[in-house]
Amino acid sequence: MRWYGPSGYCNGVTDHRTVGLQYAVTSLLFLLVGFLLMLLMRWQLAWPGQPLPAWIVPLLGDANAPGGIMLPEFYNQLVAMHGTVMIFLAVVPMAAGAFGTLLVPRLIGAAGMALPRVSALAFWLFAMGGAVMVASFFVEGGAANSGWTAYPPLSILATKGQTWWLVGMICVSASATLGALAMITTIVRSRAPGVTLSRMSFFVWAQLVTALLLLLAFPALQAAAVFQLMDRTAGTSFFLPSGLVIGGIPLQDYSGGGSPLLWQHLFWFLAHPEVYVLVLPAMGIVSEVIVSNTRRPLWGYGLMVSAVLFLGGMSMLVWAHHMFLTGMGTTLSTFFQVTTMIVSIPSVAVVTALVLSLWGGSIRFPTAMLFALAFLPMFGLGGLTGLPLGLAASDITLHDTYYVVAHFHYLVAPGTMFALFAGIYHWFPAVTGRVLSERLGKWHFWLSFYFINNIFLPMFVVGLAGVNRRMYDAGLQFALAQPFQALQRHMTWSALALGVAQIPFLVALVLAYRAPASARKESDASFGEASPIAPDRTHPHPSAPDRTCSHPPAPDLAPWLLVAWMVMFFGSLLSGYVLLRAGNAEWPQQASGWGLAIGGAVLLAVAGLLVRPSRAGLLASAVPGAAVVVWLSTLHGAAFHAGRTPASHLEFASWFTLTGVLLTVVAIVSAATAGSAFGRSASSPARARGLRITWGALSLIWLVLLSAFSVA
C-alpha cells in the first residue's frame, strides 16, 4: 500500500486501502492546520490587544497583524476556518473517509469498495475542496470570516474568501455524497456470504448510518450554498430582507424580501446530523476497541443497532433547536424541543451499552483502550450538557456563550477525537504492519486527557457566567467577562500544552514509519484472525466471512441512492422557495406556466422510455434531455432580454436558480447517457435500468418543481 497523487487516480489506482490511507494522511494534516488556527485564537483570547510572539508575526503579515497585534477581522477568519477545517476537513474525513474506506470492506469480507472509482473520486474532491478553502487565506480580504455557520446577511456582504469557502464547501459536500454512495452500496451489496445484516459488526452499522446521513443531510447545505453563491455573485436576495441598513447606511440595489432564517433552516438541517456523522463512527470504533480489549461480546448488540438507526432518522428532525433565538415561533420551538429530547434517548442507550460491555470483562489497558474508555465520560459530559441547550427556556440564556463551545467540544474533541485516536492505535498494526510505541502512546493519552479537560471544563464556567463567544477580545469590553480573564489564560496555556502532548504521537508515527515492517504487512492476512478487526467478535457469529468471495457488485442500488439524493437536494431548494413565498406579503409575478412544467416533464419521461441497453437506445434517450437543455437555456436568455433577471425579484431569482440547477443536472445525465453509448458497458441492462430510473426521477422532480412556479 502506498500513497498516490492525482496521477494514481487517472491510472486507476482505486484500491480501498490506498484511498483510506489518502483520507487518513490528508485529514491528519488538516487536523494539524485546524489545531494551529485554534492556538492563534487562544493566544488572542488570553492576551487581547497585545503583540503576538515575534516569530509568528512575519507569517501572518501586516495585513492581519500590524505591529504584531491581531486584527479583529483576522480573528474572525480564524474562528470561521477553525470550525470549518476541523469539522469538514479533519474529523469527518477521518471518521467516515479513512476508517470507513480502510476497514468496512475488510469487516464485511468484501474484496474492496463496490464503486471504487466513485470512492477514489470522493477523496480527490475532498482534497480539492479543502485546498480551495485553506488557499482562501491568501486572497484579497483573507478567508471566510462569518463563522463556520456562515450566517447571512453577514456572509453575503463578507469578503471574497466567503465565495472560496462556498466553492470549497460544494466540492467537500459532493465528496461526502459520492463517498456515502460508495459506502452504502458496499455495505448493502458486497457483504460476504454469512455476513447478514444481523451479524454485521456494530462498527459497520455505525458507518452505514453515517453514510445515510451524509447522503441525505448534505443536500440541504448544497442547496443553501447554491442560494448563497447566487446572492454573492448574481445579485439575488434569497437571504437579504428588505430595508437592510448597514452601519447606518441603507443597502442599495437589491430586491430584498429574502430571509436569513432560510439559511439557518437549510444549514442546520445538515449541521445537526453532521454531529452524528462525527459521533457515530466514534461509537463504532470504541465498540470494536472495547470488545477486543475486554475479550467478550458487546452487551446489547441489537439495542445498539436499533438505537443508531433510530438516532439517524431522528437526527434529521431536530435541526431547529439551534434556532430558538431566531423568533421562529412557539409552534416550531415546541416541536423541535420534543424531538431533541427524544433523540437523546438512543445516544444514552448506546453509551450505556458500551459501559455495560465492560462488565465482567478481562480488561487490558493498551493506549487504544485508554482513549476508548476516556471517550465514554467525555461524550457523556458533552451529551448531558447539551440537554439544557435543547430546551428553549434555558437556551435563551446559554445561547452563543462559551457554554455552547464547551458542550460541543466535549462531543467532538475529547469525545470523537479520542475515539479516533483509539482507532488509530488499535488498527495501526493491522493496516500498516507496524506498531505504534505503547510507552509514547500512554504519554500521549494521559497528557492529552489532562490538558484537554483543562481547556474545556473552565469554559463551562465562563459560559455560565454569560460571556459571549466569538468576541476577539474575549468579551473584556464587558465587565462580566473581566473576572474570567485568568481562566482564559489558563485555557490558552492548556491548549499550548495540549499541542506539546501531541509530540509523543508524532514521534511514535515517525518511529513506526522508520521501523521495518513485519512480514504480515500489506497482505490480507493482516486483517485475519490475529488482527483485532476480525468481524466475528462483537456478537454471536458462526464463522468469519470468506474474504475471497463477495457478491458481485450490483449497481442497481446506486441509481436509487442517487434519486434519494436528488429528491433531498431539489426538495431543499423547493422548501427555500416555499419559505420565501409564504414569508412575503406580496408575490405578484409568476415566472413560468404549466406548459413548461408539463412539457419538460413529458420530454424527460420520454428520455427514460427510450433508454435501451444498446448504443442506439442510449443515444436516442439523450436527445429529449438535450432538447430540454436547449429549450430552457433559450427561455433563460429570453427572460434576461425581457429584463427579468435573478436580481430583479425573488420569484425570478428562485426560477433562474432552481431551473438552472435542474438544467445542469439534466445536462449531466444527458451527457452521461450519450457517453455511455460509446463505453464498454453500452449493452449493460443494469446500466440501462439505472439510467431509466434517473430519467424517471428527473421527470417527476421537474414536474413538482415547475408546478410550484405555476401555482398562483
The region of 99-107, 369-377, 563-571, 620-628 touching other proteins under the rule CB under 8 A is 563-571
- Beta strands (DSSP E) in 270-418 are none
Q: Does 707 help bind other proteins (rule: CB under 8 A)?
A: no
Among 25, 59, 139, 197, binds other proteins (CB under 8 A): 197
Reduce the DSSP state of residue 136 to 3 states and report it. helix
Q: Judged by CB, which is closer to other proteins: 125, or 262?
A: 262
Max Cα–Cα distance, the chain, nearest Å: 77
Of residues 302 and 679, the one with the C-beta less far from other proteins = 302
* Binding status of residue 188 toward other proteins by CB under 8 A: yes
Does 461 help bind other proteins (rule: CB under 8 A)? no
Q: Toward other proteins, which CB reaches closer, 400 or 556?
A: 556
Q: Which stretch binds other proteins (CB under 8 A): 67-75, 262-270, 596-604, 640-648?
A: 262-270
> How near is the Cβ of 187 to other proteins at its closest, in Å?
11
Which one of 481, 574, 620, 662 is in contact with other proteins (CB under 8 A)? 574
Q: Does 660 bind other proteins (CB under 8 A)?
A: no
DSSP reduced 3-state for 156: helix
Binding to other proteins by residue 156, rule CB under 8 A?
no
**Secondary structure, 3-state, 655-698:** HHHHHHHHHHHHHHHHHHHHHHCCCCCCCCHHHHHHHHHHHHHH
Q: Which three cell numbers stand for residue 559?
A: 441509481
Binding other proteins by CB under 8 A: which of 241, 466, 499, 660? 241
Check the CA dihedral 465-471-476-479 and report its sign: negative
Q: Contacting other proteins (CB under 8 A), which of 20, 458, 553, 576?
A: 576
- What's the Cα-to-Cα distance from 566 to each of 322, 657, 661, 674, rounded to whole Å? 26, 15, 11, 20
Cis previous bond, 153, omega within 30:
yes
Backbone angles phi, psi at 143, to 5 degrees: -75, 180
Of 52, 111, 178, 216, the residue at the interface with other proteins (CB under 8 A) is 216
Residue 581 contacts other proteins per CB under 8 A? yes
Report how many helices (DSSP H) and strands (DSSP E) the chain contains, helices first.
25, 2
C-alpha to C-alpha distance for 666 and 673, rounded to whole angstroms: 10
Residue selected from 30, 88, 239, 269 as contacting other proteins according to rule CB under 8 A: 269
Residues present in the chain in total: 712
Nearer residue to other proteins within complex by CB, 211 or 278: 211
Say whether residue 575 binds other proteins (CB under 8 A). yes
The least CB distance from residue 393 to other proteins, in Å, is 19
Does residue number 584 form part of the binding site for other proteins (CB under 8 A)?
A: yes
Whichever of 481 and 580 has its CB closer to other proteins, that residue is: 580
Q: Does residue 585 interact with other proteins by CB under 8 A?
A: yes
Question: Does position 327 bind other proteins by CB under 8 A?
Answer: yes
Question: Phi/psi zone of residue 615: left (φ > 0), alpha (ψ -120 to 50 degrees), beta?
Answer: alpha
Sign of CA dihedral 633, 639, 643, 649: negative
| Cα 292 from Cα 289, distance rounded (Å) | 5
Hunting for cell 503576538 — which residue is that?
Answer: 52
Distance from C-alpha of 130 to C-alpha of 85, rounded to nearest angstrom: 8
How many whole angstroms from its chain centre is CA 553?
Answer: 26
CA distance 568 to 531: 40
Asked whether position 211 contacts other proteins by CB under 8 A, the answer is no
Cell 485568568 belongs to residue? 486
Query: Is the CB of 206 or the CB of 290 nearer to other proteins?
Result: 206
From CA 549, how far away is CA 547, in angstroms rounded? 6
Name residue 342's amino acid.
I
CB of 14 or CB of 657, closer to other proteins: 657
Helices 557-582 and 202-233, packing angle to 10 deg: 40
CB closer to other proteins, 585 vs 642: 585
Grid coordinates belonging to 240? 437579504
Residue 470 is classified by DSSP as: S
User: Could you tell me how many residues of this chain bind other proteins (CB under 8 A)?
Assistant: 42
Supply the DSSP string of 399-455, one letter for each residue.
TTBHHHHHHHHHHIIIIIIHHHHHHHHHHHHHHHS----HHHHHHHHHHHHHHHHHH
Residue with cell 433577471: 645
What is the C-alpha separation between 118 and 177, in angstroms, rounded? 10
Among 85, 261, 372, 373, the residue binding other proteins under the rule CB under 8 A is 261
Site track for other proteins across 288-317, x = CB under 8 A: -------------------------x--xx
Least gap, CB of 255 to other proteins (angstroms) = 15
If the CB atoms of residues 290 and 562 are measured against other proteins, the closer one turns out to be: 562
String marking each residue 361-400 x if it binds other proteins according to CB under 8 A: ----------------------------------------
Q: Is 468 in the site for other proteins (CB under 8 A)?
A: no
Least distance to other proteins, CB of residue 568, Å: 6
Give how far Cα 134 sits from Cα of 30, 77, 95, 366, Å.
Answer: 9, 11, 21, 36
Selected binder of other proteins within 293, 572, 592, 676 (CB under 8 A): 572
Q: Within 10 Å of residue 56's Cβ, how many Cβ atoms?
A: 15
Pull the grid cell for residue 522: 500489506
Which of 7, 11, 252, 331 binds other proteins (CB under 8 A)? It is 331
User: Could you say whether residue 571 binds other proteins (CB under 8 A)?
Assistant: yes
Q: Whole-number minimum distance, CB 499 to other proteins, in Å?
A: 41
Q: Which stretch binds other proteins (CB under 8 A): 161-169, 260-268, 463-471, 690-698?
A: 260-268
C-alpha cell at 140: 484579497
CB of 650 to other proteins, least distance (A): 11
Contact pick of 544, 564, 602, 671 for other proteins (by CB under 8 A): 564
Q: Which is nearer to other proteins, 15 or 536 (CB)?
A: 536
Q: Does 582 engage in binding with other proteins (CB under 8 A)?
A: yes
Question: Which residues here bind other proteins, judged by CB under 8 A?
Answer: 188, 196-198, 212, 216, 220, 241-242, 259, 261-262, 265-266, 269, 313, 316-317, 320, 326-329, 331-332, 560, 564, 567-568, 571-572, 574-576, 578-585
